A and B are shown apart, each in its own frame.
Chain A
Amino acid sequence: MTEPFTILRGKAVPLLRDNIDTDTISPGSAVPREGRGTTFSEHGSTSLADDLFGNWRYGPAGEPLPDFPLNQPRYQGASILLTGANFGCGSSRESAVWMLAAWGIRCVVAPSFAEIFAANCYANGLLPLPCSADTVSRLAAEAEGAAPGFVVDLARCELSISSGTTIAFPISAYRRRGLLAGLDDIELSLESRHEIASFVARERESRPWIYPYETSIRD
């Protein structure tokens, strides 16, 4: 069960680079800083928000780099990330999403997303919002300047900013429904346990070599 995503109001932080991989979002061997453990274990960590973009955000001694957007006072509290194409490529590590969420991000706006990352977003109630590179650049320019308020309305599939721009965005009906309701996929799929059991029984008949092992189906 995730928190339902209906309307998100907040600030946006720009990080305009293409192909930001999940190693970069969630460093495997985060820059060692006193009192902070690695997050790669995905066992959970109290420093999820601190290690986000760790290799870009801190200098060699662990000092925050003032030029990095997430370190700048004006972007603190932002809930929307504006970024480049193919965001979240590479490793399947879901800690990339957990770290973004821990920092406060609920919506990532980019021209495109890597598929595993996008699936991990939906699973955690985050919205990957696709729009053209030109639009992202324009939104980023606004965020850097007047720091307008952003509103993401999932019911209307619209992103609007207080300076007046409104953009419609596409999302699959299936994913939209899940986000709006904060659905638990596992509970839903367990309702199909009888279909799953019949599938196994049928397949064991037609392709027994795939399932040579003793089955221990549990309801």
Chain B
Amino acid sequence: MTGTLFDKIWDRHVVNDLGDGFSLLFVDRHMINDMAGRGLLTLNKRDLPLNHPELTFAAADHTVATLVPPEFRPGRDDNPYAVNLRENAERHGFRLFDVDDPDFGIIHVVAAEQGLALPGTTIACGDSHTCTLGAVGAIAWGLGQSDIVHILATQTSIQHKPATMRIWIDGALPAHATAKDLILTLIGRLGVAGCTGHAVEFAGPVIEAASMEERFTICNMAVELGARFGVIAPDDTTCAYLSGRPEAPAGSAWDLAVADWRSLVTDDGAIFAAEYRMDASDVRPQVTWGINPAQTVAIEDAVPGAGTGMDESALATYRAALAYSGLDAGTRMDGVPVDIVFIGSCNNARLGDLRDAAAVLRGRKVATGVTAWVSPGSERVRREAEAEGLDRLFIEAGFGWGRSGCSMCAGAGNQMREIGTPGQRIVSTTNRNFVGRQGPGTRTHLVSPPMAAAAALAGRIVDVRTWS
């Protein structure tokens, strides 16, 4: 019986078939963040026990203060969201990566680097970017508070099995085009609902050649294609990444695990409900101009005009995007002025991302009037970056070197205080440019880490390939 990677993992985790395409799925790893307060409150109010505390892991990543020098980071007790998680960790006995834990970080980054996210597992979290972890060959998805309570109480989740889709990426990424540019290009072509209802398997030569960090960046934005799930088959790159991680299997358990992981591939002849092929050879550095990630263009291009065939709703959305972004159709993106540059998030703040950004700085200075910050994806990433001197490169260029957390990505850092002011233009290595996402009235332009570094130096959006 041939099957897709996604189907194989899904089928292993079905506890009960509920009919009509719904299953009661077992959840191997439940990751919870500081936005899960309401879910924990509901659990406690209903006096329900946490069903599997040993499969539950938490980090208060959204609300922690990050835009402060690491040596001045706040103590662990001044944040009510973190306190709430701490009290519940003590009450229910789950593992908390507390604010001052050396392994603290953005929960999707922590889950990967700790080896909690393993091939063939199911991973759920009350955060839509949980799809990031599909990059290790897991079924990982985001959900709301009601579904969180359900998992806390039962370690299962009622889910409708999505159709499967394969996105096959041929060729090779050109120099200066990153995984971020690849996924933004895809979203630009397929649209923000292009994969709704599907679990997307990313495959092909470009994915096989990609590092784990690049795979995380790609799967992270599956939800920006409308897909709750993005998945990549585990291979030698995956095994090399996981080997030796604190929570990854070791010794004979490792050998057993790897033998199983080798079977986690889509069989030849397996049928996908949809397939899409693209060639990465013509991917160019991207920058978003509007209010969703599909509103992206190559850096040398201009804000597009209204498309033919836009219906009333689509046209209203397009006009709203122009009005909000303060740009006109035909405006060239190269040259748009910048107020803030932010390098961070579960999308683009791993060690390789920071190296790529730092390489662009090369002893130069952030432009006058630009505020620039780095918030590493985890405290572990921060230490590793500091060990190779990346922090000095950023600080000497005029960047702030912060601590880890979701920070400016969702406008929730430091209890909703790490935001821009109305009208400010933020060049950001994050994954969403929605209205008000980084503060009321702020305009977000999504880019790769090298493009962000170049924008900070120039004080305007520039082409990292040609600007000097």
Are B292 and A19 closer than 8 Å at their CB atoms?
Answer: yes
The residue that B153 contacts in the complex, of A173, A186, A200, A207, with Cβ under 8 A, is: A186
Residues of the A chain whose Cβ atoms lie less than 8 Å from the Cβ of B146:
94, 120, 123-124, 185
Interface residues of A in 26-40 (CB under 8 A from B): 27-32, 38, 40
Q: Are A216 and B53 in contact (CB under 8 A)?
A: yes
**In the complex, are the beta carbons of A116 and B228 less than 8 A apart?**
yes
Is B464 at the interface (CB under 8 A from chain A)?
Answer: no
Contact A42 B35 (CB under 8 A): yes
Q: Say yes or no: B145 contacts A94, CB within 8 Å.
A: yes
Whose C-beta in chain A lies nearest to the C-beta of B248?
A: A209
Max chain B C-beta neighbours (<10 A), residue from A19, A84, A85:
A19
The smallest beta-carbon distance between B15 and chain A, in angstroms, is 5
Q: Which residues of B contact A92 (CB under 8 A)?
A: 126-128, 142-144
What residues of chain B lie closer than 8 Å to A83, measured between beta carbons?
313
Q: With A28-B410, A93-B144 given, is the CB distance from A212 to B253 under 8 Å?
A: yes
Give chain A interface residues in 7-60, CB to chain B under 8 Å: 16-19, 21, 23-24, 27-32, 38, 40-44, 54-56, 60
Q: Contact: B38 with A44, CB < 8 Å?
A: yes
> By the criterion CB–CB under 8 Å, are B121 and A174 in contact?
no
Cβ < 8 Å to A, chain B residues 123-155: 126-128, 142-147, 149-150, 153-155
**B197 contacts A28, CB within 8 Å?**
no
Give the B interface residue count (CB, 8 A). 82
Quick check: A28 and B412 within 8 Å, CB to CB? yes
Contact of A196 among B38, B143, B155, B158 (CB under 8 A): B155
Taking chain A's interface residues, is the majority helix, strand, or loop, or is none over half, making it mixed?
loop
Known: A23-B434, A92-B143. A29 touches B226 (CB 8 A): no
Q: Which residues of B contact A81 (CB under 8 A)?
A: none
A112 close to B (CB within 8 Å) = yes
Are B311 and A137 in touch, CB under 8 angstroms?
Answer: yes
Contact A19 B253 (CB under 8 A): no
Chain A nearest CB from B149 CB (Å) reads 7
Within A192-219, the residues touching B (CB, 8 Å) are: 192-193, 195-196, 199-200, 203, 207-218
> Is A133 in contact with chain B by the CB < 8 A criterion?
yes
Q: Which B residues touch A90, using CB under 8 A?
A: 128, 223, 432, 434
How many Å lie between the Cα of A210 and that of B260 in the bound state? 11
Query: Could you name 10 residue pairs across A and B whose Cβ atoms are closer than 8 Å?
Result: A16-B316, A19-B317, A21-B434, A42-B37, A89-B292, A119-B143, A186-B149, A200-B26, A209-B249, A215-B52
Which A residues fall within an 8 A CB radius of B? Answer: 16-19, 21, 23-24, 27-32, 38, 40-44, 54-56, 60, 83-86, 89-94, 97, 111-112, 114-116, 119-120, 123-124, 133, 136-137, 172-174, 185-186, 189-190, 192-193, 195-196, 199-200, 203, 207-218
Residues of B within 8 A of A (CB): 15-16, 18-22, 24, 26, 28, 35-38, 41, 46, 48-55, 81, 93, 118, 120-121, 126-128, 142-147, 149-150, 153-156, 158, 160, 162, 192-193, 196-197, 223, 226, 228, 249, 253-254, 256-257, 260, 292, 311-314, 316-317, 320, 410-412, 416, 419, 422, 432, 434-437, 439-441
